[in-house]
Amino acid sequence: MSHSLDNPLPENRLTVTPLEFQPSFEQVPDDEEETNRELTEVMRSILDTTFEDGGHALRGVHAKAHGLVRGHITVLEGLPAPLAQGAFAVPGTLPVVMRFSTNPGDLLDDKVSTPRGLGLKIVGVQGARLPGSEGDVTQDFVMQNAKAFTAATPKAFLKSLKLLAKTTDKGPGLKKAFSALLRGVESVIETMGGESGTLKSMGGHPLTHVLGETFNTVVPFLYGNHYAKLAVVPVAQSLTDLTDQPVDLDGKPDGLREAVTQYFANQGGTWEVRIQLATDLEQMPIEDASKEWSEELSPFVTVARIEVPAQAAWTDESIQAINEQMSFSPWHGLAAHRPLGGVMRVRKPTYEMSAGFRGKHNGCPIHEPR
């Protein structure tokens, strides 16, 4: 019987032999510095545009949040050694912050339907830190509701970001119409058994509830002596009932936020944190972020559980404390979870620049919770 994200291996069971990470698995192109610089410039142009439009500095990506909630993560007991690493090395319970969002860098009507994101921040982790996050006690995981990244390399990512920059703040009405067209094309592709990450990223994502989604880091990171991807999967019935559930967005530019607020006002939710350890460098490459990793080769295994109680998911306090004063980056965290591959490497300077821009222009320094 195969186990997938929908049907993970029983907790504490590991049926594969994970690959030992070797530094040679990462291949840094000679011109990555140049790509890095260009990416940061393009991201900066998006930030400048949205700041000029609204007088408030937004994130360069995942600008629009739909829910800001606090809860706890419990790391399971008895994890086998390859899974008991970094933030998941010691059983116990720590506070978490979750920020549900959509991908673009401008605040669009929800009918411009793009992929969904989740920023997860675990507070109170101990261990050697990544450069730039020394002295902090947080571990961030930045996720999308996809299984692979839309771009294979930083260069391909730069190309799509340039396209996004050109459309930032251009014709919201046109974007809505274009989004509807793309959703139609996407649904045809899906009825034929396919799926287009590119169409979804450009506005062809189905108009479904954000809380029913499974989120994935889509790009790998170090996992102790191994490397892995991480997924956050809804398991409470109240959440799984929302998977693929349509949301009425007619005349509701912030309909997703309304739906999330309504949900958490009455009930909490439970998610599992699952790890997919790499077992084969060719099938599970580090430098090709667009490659989906086979769950037949290496099933996801549950390492922790997140519990979020019922709460107000959009308040002045949470907007200030989470949306304005926190940033989420895969480079906030433990050395045991160092981000891997070109797409992850170029995220460091762009995310740092974006956080610095927000802090400076909004007069509100970004800081990590203790």
CATH for 136: 2.40.180.10
pLDDT the model gives residue 76: 97
Q: Token pair for residue 147?
A: 């299984």
Residue 303: inside a domain:
yes
Three-state DSSP class for residue 176: helix
The answer to whether 121 and 87 are in contact (CB under 8 A) is no
Residue 13: inside a domain:
no
If one counts the domains in the chain, the total is: 1
Full-model pTM: 0.84
| Mean pLDDT (whole number) for 313-341 | 91
pLDDT the model gives residue 205: 73
Residue 192: inside a domain:
yes
The answer to whether 99 and 64 are in contact (CB under 8 A) is no
pLDDT the model gives residue 137: 97
Residue 7: inside a domain:
no
If one compares 162 and 224, the residue with the highest pLDDT of the two is 224
User: Greatest CA separation found in the chain?
Assistant: 55
Task: Say if residue 199's pLDDT is above 50.
Answer: no
Q: How far apart are CA 46 and CA 275, in angstroms?
A: 33
Q: Cα–Cα–Cα angle for 104, 234, 321, nearest 5°?
A: 55
Q: Which of 180, 312, 188 is nearest to 250 (CA)?
A: 180
Q: Cα–Cα–Cα angle for 69, 259, 114, nearest 5°?
A: 90
Length of the chain: 370
Q: Token pair for residue 95?
A: 């506070």
Residue 367: inside a domain:
no
| Mean pLDDT (whole number) for 122-135 | 94
